[in-house]
Structure 1
Amino acid sequence: MSGSGSNPDQYDGLLKRYAEEYGLDWRLLKRQMLAESGGNPRAVSPRGAKGLMQFMPGAWRDWGEGDPFDPEASIRAGAAYMSFLLSRFEEIPDERERYKFALAAYNAGRANVNRCLEYARQAAGAPGSFEEWVKAGRPPGPWQQWKVAREFLSMVTGRNAAVTIRYVEKIMGEEEE
């Protein structure tokens, strides 16, 4: 990322406001912002993601309004997108685990995390596709834990899996020693 840092605490009011509006924990949203941009509203990643919440141009068109470098617009869009992602992992009953899957999807793409879940379900002997799993009565299984499902992420994203795993662990405060 390029650009200079700023005091990330200055965004606490916005983080609290939009976390409350979208039903998120503001502290996790702040940790996500720090993981994404270091709290720098002018941050630009090597791949072209912009702003505090690091939106790619296509995702910004879907979720953002105005300037991606505007802190309020970026935080609002990031909170809205995280809320959306959380709603898409209904098969994960535990709220904290669901948050991990949503963070992974924010970082690696929802389609990639869905494929990871499919492989994890199959490995556990459950119906692989989400639709088949629902038809089977939604039996619970170990794939509903991020530490189990993440092992299949490299089958989908290759070497980038390690980046996503560290991203989730950092935000959730579960970095391994």
Structure 2
Amino acid sequence: MIPKTVLAAMAALLLALVPPVFARAAEHTPGEFEFRVPKGATSAQVKGWIRQASAKHGLDPCLVQALIEIESGGDQAAVSPKGAQGLMQIMPGTARDLKLDDPFDPTANIDAGSRYLREQLRTFGDVRLALAAYNAGPEAVRKFAGVPPYPETQRYVAAVANRFIVLKTGGNMEAFVKKVLEGANATGKP
């Protein structure tokens, strides 16, 4: 169960990103977010791995799936030009820190990437900043005391948030934000 304060923070993130996110919606082409299922797995297995890692690390599975879709498109063999590897595009140094032996093992990669994302959420206390740290590194977020002004990172945070909105709401962001804010108001917390 995701704490209401985290959901309220996600809703605030979504509201903050509404204009840029929906401004790009017209540029979306069908199939842009087609999720490739790793070889030898089924879609149900992948969703199970995501649910398991999300539950273990206290994350919303839609956030983890959104991150995977933006990072690798679900390609377990993906390698970025900078060397990030696997579904959650983990850099080799980070993989060593996380004791991830095989970054191309989808279950291990999802678990390690989810653990790293949770670490960033604990460090920065904000979904936007955690996503920025996942993309640009925590030192860049500290240096700029916020989302770094790197165009790639700015686009990345918006893209993950956009995909999260679609996955979480089926495209009905207004209903999602209303539900989250009603839940937060019921507890007396923003």
Pairwise TM-score range, normalised by the shorter structure? 0.5 to 0.7
* Whole-Å separation in 1 of the counterparts to 2:99 and 2:157: 23
Q: Secondary structure at the match of 1:88?
A: helix
TM score, norm. by length of structure 2? 0.62
Number of the residue aligned with 2:78: 43
Indicate the larger mover: 59-68 or 49-58: 59-68
Q: Where has structure 1 moved over 2 Å in runs of 4 or more?
A: 5-10
- Does the CA contact (< 8 Å) of 1:64 and 1:74 recur in 2? no
1:114-134: CA deviation from partner (whole Å, max 9, x where unpaired): 1111xxxxxxxxxxxxxxxxx
Structure 1 position 169 matched with structure 2 position 175: no
1:27-52: CA deviation from partner (whole Å, max 9, x where unpaired): 01001011111100000111111100
Indicate the larger mover: 164-173 or 8-17: 8-17
Percent of paired sites with the same residue: 41
Number of aligned residues: 125
TM score, norm. by length of structure 1? 0.66
Structure 1 position 24 matched with structure 2 position 59: yes
Structure 1: runs of 5+ lacking an equivalent? 91-97, 118-148, 155-160
Aligned partner of 1:162: which letter?
Answer: P
Number of the residue aligned with 1:77: 112
- Does the CA contact (< 8 Å) of 2:90 and 2:103 recur in 1? yes
- Does the CA contact (< 8 Å) of 1:15 and 1:29 recur in 2? yes
Aligned partner of 1:173: which letter?
Answer: N
Number of the residue aligned with 1:7: 37
Number of the residue aligned with 2:144: 116
- Larger relative contact order (C-alpha < 8 A, sep ≥ 6)? 2
* Whole-Å separation in 2 of the counterparts to 1:60 and 1:102: 17
- Does the CA contact (< 8 Å) of 2:103 and 2:109 recur in 1? yes
Alignment of 1:51-62 (within 5 A): 51-62=86-97
1:92-129: CA deviation from partner (whole Å, max 9, x where unpaired): xxxxxx11110000000101001111xxxxxxxxxxxx
Please give the root-mean-square deviation of Cα atoms over the aligned residues, in Å.
Answer: 1.9
* Whole-Å separation in 2 of the counterparts to 1:163 and 1:11: 27
